Amino acid sequence: MSIRVGLIGAGRMGKVFAHTLAFTVPEVDLVAVADIDLKTSQEVAARYGIKDHYTDYRELLKREDIQAVVIVTPTATHAEIIGAAAAAGKHIFSEKPLAQTLTMCDEAIAAVASSGVKLQLGFMRRFDPAYAMAKKKIDEGSIGVPVMFRSTSRDPKRTSLEFARRENSGGLILDMGVHDFDLARWLMGSEVERVHTEGGCLVYPELKEVGDIDNAMINLKFANHALGNIDVSRNAVYGYDIRTEVLGSEGGLLIGKLQQTSTLVMTRQGVVHDTIPYFMERFGEAYAAEIRDFVACILEDRLPSVTGQDARQATAIGVAATLSLDEGRPVLVSEIR
């Protein structure tokens, strides 16, 4: 069996998913792409052998032959397009986050529930072999009871000022930290109860002009009394730095590394190694794996591995952490309505 899929959004990440859908998931027939920029939709259609392209995603959703859509549009549009896709009876894979507010999350989840389609969110780190192995070890009890969570997410360069605006991306904490918030819940097996954020513009003062920051540290208190800390940064000039540590009552796990290859260059000047340059080099396989899992959940008629409710909880933590930054105080996640 195969699934006929339409791609909505053909920008930087849209091209990543277009390649995955066209070349790495044999159960998928990528039949259409939509992007508000005509040139972009034409180029992606030509590059990946997609027969039809549109500038209005609603035209794509009218296609009765399309069974599922992959949404890779700007953050602020996710909930709206999910609602429209659900109303059109399409199964949905959407890049994170689900939405920037809980109201929008709830509207999207309700639309999916009423239509009976499947919704999976793009938290690709769950599908990375290292993170998947860590989760397996935790579930097996290899490190005892998890008591502390520590996660680092650092980009090697500043994003564009337009993207950094909160109304577009949600800002540093929600845009970047949402992956770590999802990992925290998933690996620790507990909801986050309270957050306390410190952050600022320490390297790129121009981010202040659009209401964003470049560095933040977020302390977490879990409902089961475990502790956590997340740091997010836009100025890791040395490379793409994604690492996580879980400490348990009987041991610990270190997930991820800075070094891309296992080669050490050893000279009189010292010993050096390379670093991971950016996200595709680190998580390319995970992006493909999450799409394969989404397609499998349709073909096997099972629940998605990452649900709308999972995404809602990650958004709630992100909104609470942003409020903590703005108001300079600890914030209970339950305060976010």
Name the architecture of domain 3-124+286-305: 3-Layer(aba) Sandwich (3.40)
pLDDT at residue 307, rounded to an integer: 97
- pLDDT at residue 138 greater than cutoff 90: yes
Domain borders along the chain are 3-124+286-305, 126-282+314-335
- pLDDT at residue 1 greater than cutoff 90: no
The Cα–Cα gap between 74 and 78 comes to 7
The residues, any chain, with a CB within 8 Å of residue 245's CB and separated by 6 or more, are 148, 149, 150, 151, 252, 253, 254, 255
The average confidence (pLDDT) of the chain is 97
pLDDT in tens, 288-324: 999 999 999 999 999 999 999 999 999 999 999 999 9
**Torsion from C-alpha of 228, 234, 237, 238, nearest 10 degrees:** 30
3-state helix, strand, coil split of the chain in percent (to 5) is 45, 25, 30
Element housing 309 (H / E):
helix 308-327
Give CA separation, 172 vs 117, 145, 205, in Å.
31, 31, 14
CA angle 75, 80, 81 (to 5 degrees): 85
Phi-psi region of 251 (alpha: psi -120 to 50; beta: other; left: phi over 0): left
Mean pLDDT computed over 243-264 = 96
pLDDT at residue 139, rounded to an integer: 98
- Asked whether the beta carbons of 195 and 313 are under 8 A apart, the reply is no
Of 197-201, 203-207, 256-260, 313-317, minimum mean pLDDT range? 256-260
The Cα–Cα gap between 152 and 270 comes to 27
pLDDT in tens, 46-56: 999 999 999 99
The Cα–Cα gap between 284 and 16 comes to 9
Q: Report CA 296 to chain centroid distance, whole Å.
A: 20
pLDDT at residue 328, rounded to an integer: 97
Confidence class for position 220, pLDDT limits 50, 70, 90: very high
- pLDDT at residue 252 greater than cutoff 90: yes
- pLDDT at residue 146 greater than cutoff 90: yes
**Torsion from C-alpha of 215, 236, 94, 17, nearest 10 degrees:** 160
Tokens coding 256: 């991820």
Helix orientation angle between 129-139 and 171-188, rounded to the nearest 10 degrees: 40
Q: Report CA 92 to chain centroid distance, whole Å.
A: 15
Element housing 30 (H / E):
strand 28-34
Cβ neighbourhood burial of 329 (10 Å; 0-12, 13-18, 19+):
exposed
Q: How many CB atoms lie within 10 A of CB 266?
A: 10
112 residue type, one letter: V
pLDDT in tens, 88-134: 999 999 999 999 999 999 999 999 999 999 999 999 999 999 999 99
Question: How do 241-248 and 146-154 pair as beta strands?
Answer: antiparallel
Q: Residue ranges of the alpha helices (H) in 35-170?
A: 38-47, 57-61, 78-87, 102-115, 129-139, 161-164, 166-169
pLDDT in tens, 64-76: 999 999 999 999 9
Name the architecture of domain 126-282+314-335: 2-Layer Sandwich (3.30)
The Cα–Cα gap between 18 and 11 comes to 10
- Asked whether the beta carbons of 41 and 55 are under 8 A apart, the reply is yes
- pLDDT at residue 337 greater than cutoff 90: no
